[in-house]
Amino acid sequence: MADLRITTKALPEHNRVRNRAMLLQTLFHEGPRSRADIARGSGLNKVTVSTIVGELIDQGILVEAGHAAEGRVGKPATLVALDDDSRSIISLDLSDAQSFRGAVMNLRGEVSHERRVDALTERGDDAIARVIAMIEELLAEASAPVLGIGVGSPGVVDRDGVVRFAPHLGWFGADLRGSLKERFGLPVHIVNDANGMALAVHTFRENDDGRSILILTIQRGAGAGLIIGETLIDGVDFMAGEIGHVVVDPTRDTTCLCGRPGCLDAIVAVPALRARLDAGENRDEVMDDAADALAAAVAPIISMLGATRIVLVGPEDILDETFAQRTQRCLTDRTLPSTTSTIGVEIGSDGGLLALQGPLVAVLSAELGIS
């Protein structure tokens, strides 16, 4: 994928959309600015800035937001700001093991309406029908023009929005984007759920410059999303992050949906863990087993790519700070101490919101250049 954030002035041969994206990116992350400050910070000339700002004000995306504090001779400069509520985005999270969730959100990733429906048995076309029904309900709640629809789906998702492989939902080559675009006539962006959460952390959470982010999700299965620098890694065949079908213990008497024994999914997926706990197995032993299997799958990723921030996302009754500590310990056991000494393993605060903000960022990035 292209760099997530646009930070350099466009050359003459580039599309002026790049300049608009850089301007919106500045206001999104740095807050209200005067036209002159935007020009100085971006390297764009004042005429270009004034033209773009005027167009965005006419569209209602930007608003004038008072005057800059006095400190210069002359008339105080007028500030412009992003109007967070000028557009609505419909965001869906399909990663949960038991339900689908959807929300109406503003440009800042804040939820105004939310829906959750059980999705224990829906597969194939029935699952798509359930998604369409949720979107219809959410569109009726949107109070501003809808910028687009974002969906976070488990499995392998290509850049055309086709879910190539999501056995938990019975999707094999399902053109989810095409189905939704035909039905609603709005921009639609489909993203792998773990990739989406990586985007959400990158956009909405504090992150030290230069730190690579590795999101590990445990829901219907296990998945990973990786951002190195400003680039989301999705792989040539969109398979990057598909760690659920890494065989971590071929001798284990478990059978994954892919048909092989010892896959990570069969060991750490939420339904598998809950089944063991409900059967009366010792919780510490179950969670130690899960942490070790997870570490076995991701230790090579960390050693090769140098991820420095790991965020674990999943249901709160399964993933907690103790599990994060277990995972850190297992990673240390499987790598050189110098490799993992600077790594932070944390639980994604409000992972449910991250799962909705991820598809929202996919829409923001594609439609406005904000990420």
Question: What is the arithmetic mean of pLDDT over 204-216?
Answer: 74
Q: Do the domains spanning 17-82 and 204-349 agree at the CATH topology level?
A: no
Task: Report residue 7's pLDDT band, with 50, 70 and 90 as the boundaries.
Answer: low
User: CATH fold of 17-82, please?
Assistant: Arc Repressor Mutant, subunit A (1.10.10)
Provide the pLDDT for residue 1.
46
Interatomic CA distance for residues 50 and 52, integer angstroms: 6
Give the residue with greater pLDDT, 211 vs 175: 175
Q: With 70 as the cut, is the pLDDT of residue 340 above it?
A: no
The domain 204-349 belongs to what CATH superfamily?
ATPase, nucleotide binding domain (3.30.420.40)
Contacts of 217 (CB under 8 A, 6+ apart): 95, 193, 194, 197, 223, 224, 225, 313, 314
Question: What percent of the chain shows pLDDT beyond 70?
Answer: 90
Beta strand segments in 133-268, E:
146-153, 156-157, 162-165, 174-175, 188-192, 213-218, 222-228, 231-233
Q: With 80 as the cut, is the pLDDT of residue 299 above it?
A: yes
Q: How do strand 213-218 and strand 162-165 relate by DSSP bridges? A: unpaired
CA-closest candidate to residue 134, choices 165, 91, 97, 166: 91
Class of domain 88-197+353-368: alpha beta
Q: Which residues pair with 105 in a beta bridge?
A: 89, 111
Q: With 80 as the cut, is the pLDDT of residue 257 above it?
A: no
Question: What is the arithmetic mean of pLDDT over 107-136?
Answer: 92
Q: With 50 as the cut, is the pLDDT of residue 96 above it?
A: yes
Q: 173, exposed or middle or buried, with CB in 10 Å at 0-12, 13-18, 19+?
A: exposed
Task: Report residue 124's pLDDT band, with 50, 70 and 90 as the boundaries.
Answer: very high
Question: What is the arithmetic mean of pLDDT over 230-245?
Answer: 80
Interatomic CA distance for residues 149 and 91, integer angstroms: 6
Provide the pLDDT for residue 343.
74
User: Taking the CA of residue 312 as centre, how many other CA atoms within 13 Å lie in the half-sphere pointing to its CB?
Assistant: 25
Q: With 80 as the cut, is the pLDDT of residue 223 above it?
A: yes
Provide the pLDDT for residue 2.
46
Question: What is the arithmetic mean of pLDDT over 141-145?
Answer: 96
Task: Report residue 14's pLDDT band, with 50, 70 and 90 as the boundaries.
Answer: low
Question: What percent of the chain shows pLDDT beyond 90?
Answer: 45
Q: With 70 as the cut, is the pLDDT of residue 8 above it?
A: no
Provide the pLDDT for residue 155.
85
* Amino acid residing at 127: A
* DSSP letter, residue 280: T
Domain residues of the chain, as ranges?
A: 17-82, 88-197+353-368, 204-349
Contacts of 77 (CB under 8 A, 6+ apart): 34, 35, 36, 37, 67, 68
Q: 265, exposed or middle or buried, with CB in 10 Å at 0-12, 13-18, 19+?
A: buried
